[in-house]
Copies of this chain bind each other. A is one copy, B any other.
């Protein structure tokens, strides 16, 4: 499967013939579909689909795929995205002091679990600079406080542009991004260390301990201007007991955070996630 592929992510009001028409567009141009999945949200009256096909043998040159498909999609009021598998996305990882998600993402990148480049780490602290150097990734330090936040965000946005970043991954970045930042750079995935919507905000493990829960969780979601309320991509949980102190919850939680964030990033990078309203479809 080393042939490059194209992927369409489409959502449009449900109606008859959508599967046939979209599939036909690919077939008529000589494409071989290797993944097709769809979902209908009957309550919302919405049809959502993902189509991936091999570009080898596809008769339509790359630059014409978008305009050609647009002609088909427009009558259906479809929203759509087109991605090519050989366009490698560029990730900026944002961290504070904790290194477990950073280490994990770097290891997965080395292990080729992700097709992406990680040229940039941004942090409000200095602690993880050493890790960045160890793996040869640029590290930019932006101390943030109430007064300089907007100013720093402006610089950060500039840096993202300069590095041609496609996706920001908040890998335990303990600052809240402003609504304005999100509006300007909306492709941001965060890992929250609780089973959302339980324990929104700061110190979720302390709150979980206080509440005496028997299971803790982690949640990866797209960041919106509403704190910890963005569309959820992935969640997972682990059992705890009365024997677990707050520090045990933190330790067990780290293992969750690593895999939950990694799965979400991977799904996103494979163009398997379609957001609609405040929900996601994650095509498998």
A-to-B contact residues, CB < 8 Å: 1, 16-21, 23-24, 26-28, 30-43, 99-100, 103, 107, 111, 113, 134, 195-199, 210-215, 217, 231-237, 239, 241-243, 245, 251, 254-255, 259, 262, 277-282, 284
Contacts and interface: CB of A to CB of B under 8 A. Distances in A.
Contacts of A19: 19, 23, 27, 33, 36
Q: 3 smallest A-B Cβ distances: which pairs?
A: A212-B279, A20-B27, A20-B23
Nearest to A251: B113
- Name the prevailing secondary structure of the A interface residues: mixed
Copies of this chain per assembly: 4
B43 A30 contact: no
Given A39-B242, A197-B199, A212 B280 contact: yes
B232 A213 contact: yes
B100 A111 contact: yes
Given A27-B16, A37-B37, A284-B243, A212 B198 contact: no
Contact of A195 (B30, B33, B195): B195
A215 B236 contact: yes
Nearest to A17: B27
A18 B27 CA distance: 9
A23 to B, nearest CB: 4
